[in-house]
Structure 1
Amino acid sequence: MSNKRISDKMEALLNTQMTREAYQAQVYLSYGSWAEVHNFDGIATFLYGHMQEEREHMFKILKYINDRGGSAKIEAIEAAPVHPKSVGECLQNILQHEIENSAEIDKIVNLALEEKDWATFSFGQWFVKEQIEEETLIGDVIAKYSLAASQNAEHKNLYEVDKDLKTNPQSATIPREEKV
């Protein structure tokens, strides 16, 4: 008798997402290395922190699949994209990756709803909230970068943005968590 409590379709979708989270970690690692080589230590610290967070997401999915009686499949991941040409491109690429990741999380939640798999639906809600936070956080970083970059054509304020990112939190407050 099987103890599997997720459908084969859900298991496959979660395994795909687990691999996607590993890829996301590679992107942050690659971009963090790029930033470090270009002496943007604060940006590198920020990106390396997010690399670790993506790895934690990957492991969270792995544990969930196995705990629900499925079998996590460790697969090869794509190479990270080529290094960005600028900090602005780096940040925009990261935002695009997060937006695409949100769409993939939505597929998991939609399938869970369709299958009335309430355990996975609940599990997926954590990731939905996390993606809202990620997109908000990167959007805020882009706004700070844009402000600094537009202040001076020579980007003298970029140093301040870089310094700010070194101590920037790894999460953002989303509207429903605000206290009045």
Structure 2
Amino acid sequence: MISKKMTKQLNEQLNKEFYSAYIYLSMSAYCNRNDFPGAANWFLLQYEEEQDHATRIYNYLIGQDAKVVLQEVAKPPKNFGSLLETYEESLAHEQDMTKNLNELSDYALKEKDHATYNLLQWFVNEQVEEEATVSEIISKLKMVGGDGYGLLMIDSELGKRATIDSDISQ
């Protein structure tokens, strides 16, 4: 059984994961409006992945017989600037999520809550991948600058991203 304070913090992280999904859905809509269907697809799949992350925390809380408290999800921005600026916003968001998850992981260790710490290590490792992927996209976007053909090529590449089956029961 996890402590009330850890339960509260996991519920807060659950809300942050839902916000992550929400911001990526907003980015997808923005990219669709701005004729970047590949990036829209990429962000839509990122939205689905973030929902899976929220479900993973939800299932963990349920499995620990902890109280799930759903909170209001903040309204995401609806305009992001250029495609490069959109991905830079994504990276800043992922870096903030990494910070939050590292702090939560540190707290789990402090409480000697090894089960929660183990859950959080999955998220910590996932964040390494998230930041690296977005950083790579940003590098490519910087490389092509405002070149329309280069942006078209990158958007086409982003559109090839496919869903990955995940086991959210863990």
Query: Which range, TM-score by smaller chain?
Result: over 0.9
Letter in 1 for 2:142: S
2:53 aligned partner:
57
1:114 aligned partner:
110
CA shift in 2, pair 1:170/1:87, >3 Å: farther
Structure 2 residues without counterparts, runs of 5 or longer? 165-170
- Deviation of 1:16 after TM superposition, in Å, equals 0.3
**Identity, % of aligned pairs?**
29
2:87 aligned partner:
91
d(CA) in 2 for partners of 1:70, 1:51: 26
Structure 1 residues without counterparts, runs of 5 or longer? 172-180
Q: Which has the higher contact order (CA 8 A, sep 6+)?
A: 2
d(CA) in 1 for partners of 2:99, 2:50: 16
Structure 2 residue 126 is matched with structure 1 residue 130: yes
Match of 1:30 among 6, 14, 26: 26
Counting only pairs closer than 5 Å after superposition, residues 1-180 of structure 1 correspond to structure 2 as 5-149=1-145, 153-168=146-161
d(CA) in 1 for partners of 2:159, 2:141: 13
Aligned residues: 164
CA shift in 2, pair 1:169/1:134, >3 Å: farther
The alignment's TM-score, normalised by the length of structure 1, stands at 0.87
2:168 aligned partner:
none
Residue pair 1:91, 1:142 contacting (<8 A) in 2 also: yes
Rg: which structure is higher?
1
Letter in 1 for 2:102: D
- Deviation of 1:155 after TM superposition, in Å, equals 3.2
Deviation track 1:113-140 (CA, whole Å, cap 9, x = no partner) reads 0011110111110000000010011001
d(CA) in 2 for partners of 1:167, 1:156: 17
The alignment's TM-score, normalised by the length of structure 2, stands at 0.92
Q: Which deviates the most, 21-30 or 74-83?
A: 74-83
1:175 aligned partner:
none
